[in-house]
Amino acid sequence: MAKKTIADIDVAGKTVLMRVDFNVPLDDNLNITDDLRIRMALPSIKSVLDRGGKLILMSHLGRPKSGQDNSKFSLKPAADRLGELLGTPVFFATDTIGEDAQAKAAALKAGETLVLENLRFNDGEKKGDAEFAQKLAAFADAYCNDAFGTCHRTDASMVGVPNAMPGKDKVVGFLVEKEIKFLSDAISAPTRPFVAILGGAKVSDKINVINNLLGICDKVLIGGAMAYTFELAKGGKVGGSLVEADKVDLAKELLAKGGDKLVLPVDTNCGDAFAEDCNKLTVDAGQIPDGYEGLDIGPKTAELYANIIKGAKTVVWNGPMGVSEMPSFAKGTIAVAQAIADTDCISIIGGGDSAAAVKKLGFADKVTHVSTGGGASLEMLEGKKFEAVEILDEK
């Protein structure tokens, strides 16, 4: 899936419309609390500006709703932060395809940047509306997708815009190029042993991923609340643990298919309430008493998983091992992160809670790649193709 990148095209004097992921967290005063997503886009942005291109950036932020006051979802704080990071003024349009955006896009000079207002302020974005996409496409001479976090979606800015630009350059940015390389290479040609670690609450969220990885991996380690659905399928006692009773038969099928490839926890850290100050208990897997719920993998499981990870050459991790926001039930997640950091294997950390854990523990520079897209990385691990990437120019 070798796609042309922004570095492969001549941008001098041209206007590049770049889809970025500036969906950054904001506090109540609309201050950005983590600008990682903006900083991750800087290499692609600078590639255009340093070579004399004109740059128009578009992104979504949050989940605005029609007919409501959506001012808290404005991209103005992101535009301001980008200006600080670049050390140059960044223009901001107060609409997306309206008069302000059109005027500022037309006035843009070589080496200048314009950020459009939140794409999702227009209902046409989520609907993949062709007319909305056409108006965005009319701004530019070339299109660049550097928003991996939304690559699994068919929103107007992801699919409609490049489709509305026949004969024009349509490329990936460096961030998307890197994500595709790591995730697709891990799936298509892993260095073995290849170990996947899957956590999180629901088996249903990860059915297709587990199915796909059981056909590729040497071991698939299960953690998080979905482990209790598997335990239920084995006839174990799960107390008041979070389970999907309607997925027990499916869990049985996965257990049969996985055999010794599918590795479940051997013990569990429990609590008598979903709280840090609850009464705590460590029991063997499948032996959770009534009145208690499983909230983390136990110490024996943490050691077992760490030993498997240490023997791996490629590791993919998506999802925490327990309720990692509570210190007492973060030990399993920490043990897995530490084991990955201690190896010299190719390590790919899926987005969301796993990525947050690795960063919080200071291990981000000790892993090979931390994905910026939770949902997108999961779908790539399922083996899915992304239309938003497929339609871009081949090298």
| Contacts of residue 34, Cβ cutoff 8 Å, sequence gap at least 6 | 24, 25
Residues 50, 77 contacting (CB under 8 angstroms): no
Residues 264, 276 contacting (CB under 8 angstroms): no
**Whether residue 162 has a cis bond before it, omega within 30° of 0:** no
Give percent above pLDDT 90 in the chain: 76
pLDDT of residue 184: 78
pTM value is 0.82
For 376-388, what is each residue's pLDDT tens digit?
Answer: 877 887 778 899 9
Tokens representing 206 are 């990860």
The neighbour count for residue 343, using CB atoms within 10 Å, is 18
Residues 330, 323 contacting (CB under 8 angstroms): yes
Give percent above pLDDT 70 in the chain: 99
Residues 186, 346 contacting (CB under 8 angstroms): yes
Residues 357, 322 contacting (CB under 8 angstroms): no
Indicate which residue of 202, 237, 261, 360 is catalytic.
Answer: 202
Indicate which residue of 252, 375, 383, 384 is catalytic.
Answer: 375
User: Which residue did the predictor score with more confidence, 12 or 183?
Assistant: 12
**The tokens 């609907």 sit on which residue?**
127
Please name the amino acid found at residue 155.
Answer: D
User: What is the C-alpha separation between 366 and 339, in angstroms, rounded?
Assistant: 11
User: Which residue did the predictor score with more confidence, 25 or 237?
Assistant: 237
Q: To which H or E segment does residue 272 belong?
A: none
What are the CA-CA distances from residue 364 to residues 132, 347, 359 (Å)?
A: 38, 11, 5
pLDDT band at 351, cuts 50/70/90?
Answer: low
Indicate which residue of 37, 135, 153, 206 is catalytic.
Answer: 37
The mean pLDDT of the chain is 93
Q: To which H or E segment does residue 315 belong?
A: strand 314-318
Residues 20, 57 contacting (CB under 8 angstroms): yes
pLDDT of residue 308: 97
pLDDT of residue 1: 56
pLDDT of residue 187: 76
The neighbour count for residue 241, using CB atoms within 10 Å, is 19
Asked if 202 is an active-site residue, the reply is yes
Cα distance between the two ends of the chain: 9
For 143-189, what is each residue's pLDDT tens digit?
Answer: 999 999 899 999 999 999 999 999 999 999 999 998 888 887 777 88
Asked if 352 is an active-site residue, the reply is yes
Q: At what angle do helices 203-214 and 226-233 cross, to 10 degrees?
A: 70
pLDDT of residue 379: 81
Strand partners, 55: 16, 113
pLDDT of residue 206: 84
User: What is the C-alpha separation between 148 and 11, in angstroms, rounded?
Assistant: 22
**Backbone dihedral angles phi then psi of residue 166, each to the nearest 5 degrees:** -60, 140
For 206-235, what is each residue's pLDDT tens digit?
Answer: 888 898 899 999 999 999 999 999 999 999
Residues 317, 336 contacting (CB under 8 angstroms): yes
pLDDT band at 62, cuts 50/70/90?
Answer: very high
Strand partners, 198: 222, 318
Domains, the chain, ordered by start: 6-176 (3.40.50.1260), 190-381 (3.40.50.1260)
pLDDT of residue 149: 87
**Backbone dihedral angles phi then psi of residue 63, each to the nearest 5 degrees:** -130, 70
Residue 139: is it exposed, middle or buried by C-beta count within 10 angstroms (0-12/13-18/19+)? buried
Indicate which residue of 53, 200, 294, 352 is catalytic.
Answer: 352
Asked if 153 is an active-site residue, the reply is no
For 19-32, what is each residue's pLDDT tens digit?
Answer: 999 999 899 889 99
- Is 203 a residue whose pLDDT tops 80? no
| Contacts of residue 106, Cβ cutoff 8 Å, sequence gap at least 6 | none
User: What is the C-alpha separation between 39 and 20, in angstroms, rounded?
Assistant: 11
By three-state DSSP, how is residue 144 classified?
Answer: strand
| Contacts of residue 371, Cβ cutoff 8 Å, sequence gap at least 6 | 148, 179, 182, 183, 348, 349, 350, 351, 355, 377
Asked if 223 is an active-site residue, the reply is no
For 314-337, what is each residue's pLDDT tens digit?
Answer: 999 999 999 988 999 999 999 999
